[in-house]
Amino acid sequence: MRSGALYDPTAPELVADRTAARDLTRRYNQTSTDEASRRQDLLESLFGSLGESCTVEPPFRCDYGDNIHVDEGFYANFDCVILDVCPVEIGRNCKLGPSVHIYTATHPLDPDERAGGLEYGKPVSIGDDVWIGGNATINPGVTVGDGSVIASGTVVTEDVPKGVVVGGNPATIIKDVDAND
């Protein structure tokens, strides 16, 4: 599954892993704002790796959790969804607006193959100092370069170079990032 090969999502070990992740996210989502230490412990149990000073506002959803790797200074606002059948690597000081969705999971295009129930995934990589606006969607296989900005509501279907602002559906480059903006 993690390598991007077709896999059977009903395999007992995958069902067990998703069930464990859903239990951890349920417990995380039921925490209160004064339970910072408990939230940290739950995220450390859920994510594959977690940098310093990371915040994820509940509610949060994911498939497995252990394929999610975030560096220091990560912030995810409310209603973030990460479908992590493949690795999701998020760099330093990345900020996600509300309802950002990151997908690695996908399905075969051929209808007969899709009907057979097999799935596959493509990893997602997000560089350092990236800001992803609310309701943006990052699709399977996408790499976002350092310092880029994804505008609210954008659907990212292809790689984003470093240091640009993208917007729209599908995402297109609007301009270069200007430190004076």
The answer to whether 143 and 160 are in contact (CB under 8 A) is yes
The answer to whether 156 and 138 are in contact (CB under 8 A) is yes
Amino acid at the residue 91: G
Q: What token pair was written down for 181?
A: 């903006």
- 3-class DSSP state of 27: helix
- 3-class DSSP state of 24: helix
Q: Would you call 107 a catalytic residue per the annotation?
A: yes
Of 27, 95, 107, 162, the active-site residue reads 107
- Residue 133's alpha-carbon distances to 25, 62, 147, 153, in angstroms, are 23, 19, 13, 7
Beta-carbon count within 10 A of 90 CB: 25
| Catalytic residue positions, numbered | 107
